[in-house]
Amino acid sequence: MYIVPEKLGESNVVSPLFVQTNTRIVGTSFIPDDAFIPLEIEHYANFPGEVKQKYFEKAGPREKIYFNSENTVVGIVTCGGICPGLNNVIRSLVVELWFHYGVRNILGFRYGYEGLNPEKNLPPIQLEPEGVDEIHDEGGTILGTSRGPQDPEKMIACLRSTGVNLLFCIGGDGTHRGAYQLFQTVQNKKYPIAIIGIPKTIDNDILFTSRTFGFNTAIEEARKVLICAHTEAKSVRYGIGLVKLMGRDSGFVTADAVLASQLVNYAIIPEVPVDLYGEKGFLAWLEQRILTREHALIAIAEGAGKEWIKENKTQRDASGNILHPDIGIYLKDKMVEYFHDKQIPIQMKYFDPSYLIRSVPANAEDSAFCDALARNAVHAGMTGRTGITIGYIHNQFVHIPIEMVITGRKKVDPNGHLWLSVVASTGQPL
């Protein structure tokens, strides 16, 4: 059982890439439409039957495409929090569309989905290669971004009035939910508009995708912060460094930063609940550590510790993400209180570096990744595929139906090797 995304129509257009590559054996360059990547690749020699599993269409340039250059008007929009690599993605979308597919009409919508709401009065920017040539040197997004949904009817009115028939929505969970609404509305009305998602989540928690852009850079920056926190903690007696890292629902940033730094003594993530109090609780462990080693470094994901807090007010931010009380501050206060009671004169050094981590330019690895991601998004869009996003599994880019990626979030497996490696590095109790 595998997934074939809806096509807007039959591909009658020969890819302009064909012309460029036809001095070569072309067969290996274009991806055939029957190429798929399985979700599970492990093979168990002693397992008797066949595994029923998911397959995703392999991404890449197709020999026949749907859109031709003259009639294509492309829109690009960036939504949600900023993330290293946004400008790289914008740049490579423009460059691929312009030079390889001959598209000359590329609109950058301002400030996220707000830029698609005509009432916000934010006219889009015309994008050309020259204007985007150096934007990958900078963090953030030249288009601007915003959180939260806009009325799909209004957004479609905007697409219709600007003539956009291929829209790239770069963003996370909320953005993809918005893109899915847009896709459904467009489908219902039978408008020939393709909607392609490009996943952006610094938490790296998109389903069916091993890695999202900016994550690698984020770990680099998070490691720097952990090194600083370690220095602060061990330069004073009973010093405790506490670093709150990104991860609203998933502990990937925290886990990878622990492994990259090899400095953390205890890591706390949403997927692995921890008792604060009690003989086997975190605070008792920390007391022991502090008394014997005189310093400690703790990393906590922002989404961890929900079980510690009773009062469950479900406030949400503009994107619809649940707003939790600040768990870093909460834990800091509990530690201060605990050691005050124990009369151990700890020195608390608290770090909340999220803005500093996500606003830097993409590192080399993420830059190359963003380039490939954006070009594959263009390849997908130009074939007339819609309602899909660009995933990445087993080192391969694939097409994933947006409705699949918005069904949940990827999590750290508490029994899997990532988390066991973290525990091996920190030495914390299981």
> Segment 402-421, which members bind a copy of itself (CB under 8 A)?
413-417, 420-421
Largest CA distance in the chain: 78
Q: Cβ of residue 148: shortest distance to a copy of itself, in angstroms?
A: 11
Among the listed residues 6, 38, 119, 344, the single contact to a copy of itself using CB under 8 A: 38
**Measured CA angle at 32 (ends 26, 37), to 5 deg:** 125
Segment lying near a copy of itself (by CB under 8 A), choices 29-37, 148-156, 177-185, 322-330? 29-37
Residues 131-170 that bind a copy of itself (CB under 8 A): 136-141, 144-146
What burial letters (b/e) apply to 304-318, b meaning 16+ CB within 10 Å? bbeebeeeeeeeeee
Alpha-carbon 405 to chain mean position: 12
126 bridge partner residues: 107
Q: Give ∠ CA 154-409-305 in degrees, rounded to 5.
A: 115
Q: Are 370 and 139 in contact (CB under 8 A)?
A: no
- Catalytic residue at 203? yes
Positions 336 through 395 that interact with a copy of itself (CB under 8 A): 349, 351-353, 355-356, 359-360, 363-365, 367-368, 371-372, 375, 394-395
Query: Which residue type, as a one-letter code, is found at position 101?
Result: Y
Pairing of strands 322-323, 74-78: unpaired
For position 234 contacting a copy of itself by CB under 8 A, the verdict is: yes
How many alpha carbons lie under 13 Å from residue 308 in its C-beta half-sphere?
A: 27
**How far apart (Å, rounded) are the C-alpha atoms in residues 198 and 213?**
10
Complex with a copy of itself: residue 106 or 195, whichever CB lies closer: 106
**Does 117 help bind a copy of itself (rule: CB under 8 A)?**
no
Tell me the window of 17-25, 157-165, 184-192, 328-336 that interacts with a copy of itself (CB under 8 A). Answer: 17-25
CA distances from 41 to 54, 64, 247, 366, 408 (A): 10, 29, 27, 25, 21
Looking only at residues 257 through 316 of this chain, which bind a copy of itself when binding is defined by CB under 8 A?
A: 257, 259-262
Shortest separation between residue 142's beta carbon and a copy of itself, angstroms: 8
Beta carbon of residue 373, minimum distance to a copy of itself (angstroms, whole number): 11
Q: Which of 33, 151, 203, 341 is catalytic?
A: 203
* Piece of 23-31, 173-181, 199-207, 323-331 that binds a copy of itself (CB under 8 A): 23-31
91 binds a copy of itself (CB under 8 A): yes
Q: Which of residues 197-226 bind a copy of itself (CB under 8 A)?
A: 210, 216, 219-220, 222-225
Q: Is 121 exposed, middle or buried (0-12, 13-18, 19+ CB in 10 A)?
A: exposed
Q: How far is the CB of 44 from a copy of itself (least distance, A)?
A: 5
Cite the active site residues: 203
